[in-house]
Amino acid sequence: MGMPARVLVIGIALALAAPVIGFAAAAPEAGQSLFPLVVGATWVRKSDEGTEATSKVVGPKTVGTTRCIVIERKAVERGRERVTRSCYLATAAEILVIETTNMRGELQVLNPPRPQLKLPPRAGQTWSWSPTDSAFDLKIVEKWIGEESIKTPAGTYKAWKMQTVTTGEDFSLTSFTWYAPGIGVVRNERKGHRGDREIKGWSELVSYKAP
């Protein structure tokens, strides 16, 4: 029996709203140091549930006619290893999600591509995204809040804070993500609801290594 459509859409929304965690140090060009994609870079993060996830930039891929860079994430969740992949296109003006893994474990090409970041960051800058081929309403609105200091097990960073609000059906999630120059995402906090059920949690950078 297939997964209920509403559950699948909510799962996709959670996956799309989640930040990427595999970044590597790079020279700051046009703000891209917040999301550098260097093959071989590896990150380890932990969540409030005690789960450790390892992300790695594995290399380029062509999706349709677009050349993008794949980040692979591996984590043991509920006793089973889960592997997800997303492919990103970096330009001077934005970071686009071209393809990502949905809750069925299938790779899904986003239509249109989703702007993960607008670059360079500016406090108050807002953008939004909705898929054109979804059977249900889904909208993601993002906003740069500003720079602030954030402490993690990997160190203390001066990072750009971004707010993401994801809504759809009876689902709403607000998250805050901190992007440190030369590293990428160092912490994420989220809170929301699905119907009467509360959703909340956090994840943070434990370690990273660059080639």
pLDDT tens for residues 8-47? 444 545 555 555 433 333 333 434 489 879 999 999 999 9
pLDDT at position 9 is 44
Cis preceding-peptide flag for 60 (omega within 30 of 0)? no
Instruction: Report d(CA 16, CA 79) in Å as an integer.
Output: 23
Measured between alpha carbons, how far is 152 from 187 in angstroms, rounded to an integer? 7
CA distance to 14, 46, 100, 119, per residue, from 103 (Å):
9, 20, 10, 29
Single pTM value for the model = 0.86
Any idea what the CATH number is for the domain that residue 68 is in? Answer: 2.40.360
Per-residue pLDDT band at 78 (split at 50, 70, 90): confident
CB of 11 closer than 8 Å to CB of 103: yes
Confidence bin at 79 (pLDDT 50/70/90): confident
Structural domain of 96: 5-209
Average pLDDT, the chain: 87
Cα–Cα distance list, 188 to 80, 160, 164 (Å): 23, 12, 10
**Other beta carbons within 10 Å of 181:** 19
- What's the pLDDT score for residue 23? 34
Closest C-alpha among 143, 147, 140 to residue 126:
143
pLDDT tens string 95-151: 999 999 988 899 999 999 999 999 999 999 999 999 998 777 899 999 999 999 999
Q: Which residues partner with 192 through β-bridges?
A: 173, 199
What total number of domains does the chain contain?
1
Mean pLDDT value across residues 85-94: 95
Tokens found for residue 75: 């984590």
